[in-house]
Amino acid sequence: MNRIKFSALSLTTGILLSLSLFACGGSKDSTAGNSYLKRIGLTPYDLDTNIAALNPEIAVQPNDDGSIYLGVLIGVGERERSSRLGTISELKSFTFITFNLDGEMMDSLYTDDITRSGLGGRATSLMASAGTTWNPSDFSSKKFRLVTLIRTESGLWLKEVAATLPEMAEVDPIVLNLTSEKKSEGVEFTLTAKRVSEPLVTEQLSTSETHRIDIYDGPILVWSSSDGQMFAQVISTVEPSKVGETTTYKVLWNGKTRTGNAKNGTYTVVATIPAKPNPYTVRKEFLWNR
């Protein structure tokens, strides 16, 4: 199972590189996407005829390590409650299948790690997101087809897009990866830093703080690993210092905020290596539920 690497916010505001979108579902007479159904062992009759039209957003984004993030975001507003809300609550898994322009399957990636967030009560709204990391073995053709199978408790739905591999941005000298894991004491964050190129001559740490974890509730900073800490004013080397080396940091958050206990919901964690002149930062969303 591949875990989501970007927040739901990044799916809506990030680089959506679909060239054209069309979907089938809700009718067995639909022809969109049928050309790929046979290649993955399905027919239009395998698709659910009653599932509400989810109209998901599909994202294709570059990751810092050179891989590709394939993601999906489904949102329902307060005016679309009933059936679509029920469908989101029944989501089971997503399968991302990539084809080259000759119709040959390139890869198939599966995830059942679905993040849900939203508001309850009379002003009900709900959002679900999921994604996975794809490492294409062949970058010779930039264009490809992405077929996303959305499985719920009651059936199967399909979304097909034509997409283009994103151009990779210049990689930072240190690549960060951030994961979270539920513990009995709270949530443990693991920040992994890998040195992929030589540092700038001027790169350094200006204090003894080697890493920082910040927790945000929306735009509000509610906790920081630096809270109440005193750091020595010393200049030191940013670790890892040698190309190919990896350094791992672990930080436990017990759910305490600057104003009390954290409420259940979705938060954003931002991990930073406070290097000078350019800090390294990575962020992701996580669910707090106690």
49, pLDDT greater than 70: no
Which pTM was predicted?
0.50
Same fold, 8-164 and 174-288: yes
pLDDT digits (tens, 9 = 90+) for 215-230: 999 889 999 999 999 9
Q: How far apart are CA 63 and CA 177, in angstroms?
A: 10
CATH 2.60.40.1930 holds for 8-164: yes
**Where are the extended beta strands (E) located within the chain?**
18-24, 57-62, 68-76, 91-99, 105-111, 115-119, 125-134, 143-152, 156-164, 174-183, 186-195, 204-205, 212-217, 220-224, 246-253, 256-257, 260-261, 265-273, 275-276, 280-288
pLDDT digits (tens, 9 = 90+) for 69-103: 898 888 776 554 556 666 777 889 999 999 888 88
CATH number of 174-288: 2.60.40.2360
Under 8 Å CB-to-CB from 250, ≥6 apart: which residues?
A: 188, 189, 190, 191
Q: How far apart are CA 107 and CA 40, in angstroms?
A: 11
Domain ranges of the chain: 8-164, 174-288
pLDDT digits (tens, 9 = 90+) for 139-196: 666 888 999 999 988 888 888 888 887 765 567 899 999 999 999 999 999 999 999 9
- Terminal C-alpha separation, the chain: 24
Amino acid, single-letter form, for residue 37: L
